[in-house]
């Protein structure tokens, strides 16, 4: 018995680097040090589907996209071109989504009574907050970050100026994620966009040309605040700023947070023609975007 315990302790201790509690927990959980899987050198950003069902292997990541018949935006804009490959803004890391639904009741105050009576008024799906980290480690990921920011800026504005849709309100998008019975083609409008640009992270430079986004690789650089150069730029900025190789340079943070407030919206015709509570409770209306 003593030899068994001794051998077990020796076997475990060989996998645990002493003095590092995090590494010890990873070793005991049979996870590689640093959380790096395989020899890729990078942590997978998106969790994999934990099932063998072929239908579940489809892209289930959270995505904001245009309706099939809509034009413009990433389907025409060179700045938003990286979004065309994913047919919309796909969050690279699983975001936090705060989903809230309400049933509103009006209290009926009765004289000389201890408790009010409540009369049902209406139900609604409240605005949802989508909070997602947006890591950037390569130039291509930086281009996608810029496209995502420009897309959210654009879809929160009305159609102003010349064009076929002149005077129309902002574009209604489609929200998808996690499969049919959570978010499946949910019609939403973007009410608010918040992007956190932190001061203590590295920034990657991405080059743009007049005809679109250049494929030249960017470099990661830490912004220096102590030494100020001409025109208020730092020393680091004066080395690589403004125009590079005939294109403009945009700095993209290697770590940021996108917060998008979306409100589900449904037309009167769609509610009148398609919605009934029995079908909704059975789950057959999930494919029509009702949540």
- pLDDT at position 18 is 45
Tell me the DSSP string of the chain: -HHHHHHHHHHHHHHS-TT-HHHHHHHHTT--GGG--TTSSS--SSPPP-S--GGGGS--S-EEE--TT--SGGGT-STTGGGGGGTSEE-SSPPEEE--EEEEEEEE--TT-SS-EEEEEEEEEPPEEEEEE----SHHHHHHHHHHHHHHHHHTS---SSSTTTT--SPPEEEEESSTTTEEEEEEEEEEEEEEE-SSS-EEEEEEETTEE------EEPPP-SSB-GGG-BHHHHHS-SEETTEEEEEEESSEEEEEEEEE---HHHHHHH--HHHHHHTTTGGGT--
Positions of the chain with pLDDT under 50: 9, 12-13, 15-19, 34-50, 52, 55-56, 212-244
The structural domains of the chain, with segments of one domain joined by +, span: 19-48, 60-198+255-288
- For residues 59 and 94, give the distance between their C-alpha atoms in angstroms, rounded to a whole number: 12
Q: What pLDDT does 164 receive?
A: 78
285 Rama class: left (phi>0) / alpha (psi -120 to 50) / beta? alpha
How confident is the model at residue 21, as a pLDDT? Answer: 53
pLDDT, residue 168, reads 87
Among the CATH numbers 2.40.30, 1.10.3470, 3.30.420, 3.30.70, which is that of 60-198+255-288? 2.40.30
Tell me what pLDDT residue 228 has.
Answer: 38
pLDDT at 93: 92
Q: How far is CA 212 from CA 90, 163, 216, 240, in A?
A: 21, 22, 12, 20
Which pLDDT score, from 0 to 100, does residue 180 have?
87
What pLDDT, on a 0 to 100 scale, did the predictor assign at position 26?
53
Q: What is the dihedral of CA 37, 41, 44, 49, to 10 degrees?
A: -40
Q: How high is the pLDDT of residue 166?
A: 81
Nearest to 128 by CA among 159, 86, 173: 173
Which of these, 234, 205, 229, 202, lies nearest to 218 by C-alpha position? Answer: 205
């Amino acid at each position: 018995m003593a030899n068994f315990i001794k051998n077990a302790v020796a076997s475990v201790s060989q996998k645990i680097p002493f003095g590092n509690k995090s590494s010890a927990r990873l070793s005991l959980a049979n996870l590689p040090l640093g959380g790096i899987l395989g020899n890729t050198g990078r942590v997978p950003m998106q969790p994999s589907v934990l099932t063998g069902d072929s239908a579940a292997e489809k892209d289930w990541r959270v995505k904001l996209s245009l309706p099939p018949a809509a034009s413009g935006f990433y389907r025409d804009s060179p700045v938003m071109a990286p979004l065309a490959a994913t047919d919309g803004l796909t969050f690279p890391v699983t975001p936090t989504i705060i989903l809230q639904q309400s049933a509103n009741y009006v209290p009926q105050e009765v004289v000389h009574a201890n408790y009010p009576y409540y009369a049902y008024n209406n139900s609604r799906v409240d605005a949802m907050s989508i909070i997602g980290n947006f890591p950037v480690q390569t130039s291509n990921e930086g281009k996608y970050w810029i496209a995502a920011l420009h897309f959210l800026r654009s879809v929160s504005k009305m159609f102003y100026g010349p064009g076929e849709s002149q005077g129309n309100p902002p574009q209604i998008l489609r929200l998808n994620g996690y499969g049919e019975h959570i978010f499946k083609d949910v019609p939403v409008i973007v009410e608010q966009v918040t992007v956190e640009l932190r001061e203590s992270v590295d920034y990657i430079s991405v080059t743009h040309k007049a005809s679109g986004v250049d494929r030249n690789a960017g470099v990661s650089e830490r912004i220096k605040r102590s030494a100020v150069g001409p025109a208020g730029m730092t020393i680091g900025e004066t080395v690589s700023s403004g125009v590079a190789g005939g294109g403009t340079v945009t700095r993209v943070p290697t770590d940021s947070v996108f917060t998008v407030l979306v409100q589900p919206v449904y037309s009167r015709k769609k509610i009148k023609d398609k919605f009934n509570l029995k079908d909704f409770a059975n789950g057959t209306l999930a494919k029509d975007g009702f949540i």
